[in-house]
Amino acid sequence: MLAAWADSPMKAPGPLLGGVELGGTKCVCLVGTGPEDILARTSLPTGADPAVTLERIAAVLRDWNRDHGPIAALGICSFGPLDLIRTSATYGCITSTPKPGWGRVDVVGPLSRACAVPVGFDTDVNGAALAEGRWGAAIGCGSYAYVTVGTGIGVGLVVGGRPVQGFSHPELGHIRIVRRAGDSWKGACSFHGDCVEGLASGVAIERRTGRRAADLKPDDPVWELVAHALGQLLHTLVLATAPQRILLGGGVMNGQAHLFERLRRELQQSLNHYIDAPEVGAQIAACVRPPGLGDLAGPLGALAVAADALTTG
């Protein structure tokens, strides 16, 4: 069992880690050493003014460093897209986000000044993936994916134990797919219309049906369309990196458990026996499954990124 969230003046054993998960609507900050040792946790709204929001987060970190510290490393995981290239002039910044006011905002600078310690920076989904590999359902896996299906859709893709990165990080929620026959709805993505996020995210579901995903019954016809879109995302993941696990979390998945069986079926139908492996055959339920850390995968991702920053400097 994960320890209950609590505020405590007790010093945690081992290096103390600070974590910031910056989401589109709220930010979760926590301090501890792992899922069984969380000293404090708090949530703040991600407001329209980045400077105000980041200063509020920095104040929390300064207080914790005084009350629980010293914090040995800080992990920051954020919505994106992000600049993760350390040699870049805009490293640590959010780049072309659709969130008003947050484009080209430096996240790492203001928060790193709150704690003069090694700082790790990554996407929210990469952080969640790293947490699952360290403490959750992907322990022992070298190749796996964490997919969040919520307001948007993102993928943390790990190969060889590390998140995939080139000139930027993957944005697999925005791949273009083959539409379900007869479905001509334009999609909800402001960039691509009918990409996976534009067809299967929480925003897409609400715009298409007029109701929130959590309010829809399992037999609502929209789920077949959602499963079709997400099934093609899983198809792409399997053919690209052959992940040992595909973990699906986020608000949409958490509230609609029936989607897992639908997605397994869609994936197998889409692959059409092209891949002969137990992970997409007899053992597919163990491969395509919920995260081991549940709703805590995201916040704990920031601690996982902090732990990596502590070892890499």
The CATH number given to whatever domain includes residue 66 is 3.30.420.40
pLDDT at 69: 79
Pair (238, 106) in one structural domain: no
Eight-state DSSP code of residue 14: S
Q: What is the mean pLDDT of residues 61-73?
A: 93
Is residue 272 a part of any domain in this protein? Answer: yes
Are residues 306 and 223 both part of a single domain?
no
**253 and 192 within one domain:** yes
User: Is 4 domain-assigned?
Assistant: no
Instruction: Please tell me whether residues 62 and 116 are part of one structural domain.
Output: yes
Q: Are residues 76 and 96 in the same domain?
A: yes
- Res 11 pLDDT > 60: no
229 and 156 share one domain: yes
- Stretch 172-195: mean pLDDT: 94
State mean pLDDT over 233-261: 96
Q: Are residues 149 and 246 in the same domain?
A: yes
Q: How many residues does the chain have?
A: 313
Q: Which tens digit of pLDDT belongs to each residue from 27-60?
A: 999 999 999 999 999 999 999 999 999 999 999 9
Classify residue 195: in a domain, yes or no.
Answer: yes
Q: Taking all residues of the chain, what is their mean pLDDT, rounded to a whole number?
A: 93
Tokens 């499963």 belong to residue: 227
Q: How large is the average pLDDT for residues 207-224?
A: 97
Structural domain count, the chain: 2
Assess whether 174 and 77 both reside in one domain: no
**Pick from 97-106, 132-141, 213-222, 300-309: least confident:** 97-106
Q: The pTM is what?
A: 0.91
H runs (alpha helix) in the chain: 50-67, 108-112, 124-135, 196-200, 202-209, 222-241, 251-255, 259-271, 284-287, 297-312
* Residue 139: per-residue pLDDT: 97
Q: Are residues 271 and 154 in the same domain?
A: yes
Tell whether omega for the bond before 98 is within 30 degrees of 0, i.e. cis: no
Average pLDDT, stretch 209-215? Answer: 96
Say yes or no: 145 and 284 in one domain. yes
Q: What is the DSSP string of 82-102?
A: B---TTSTTTTBB-S-SSTT-
Domain assignment present for residue 108? The answer is yes
Residue 191: both structure tokens together: 């960039």
Residue 149 pLDDT more than 60? yes
Q: Is the pLDDT of residue 8 over 60?
A: no
pLDDT grade, residue 228 (50/70/90)? very high
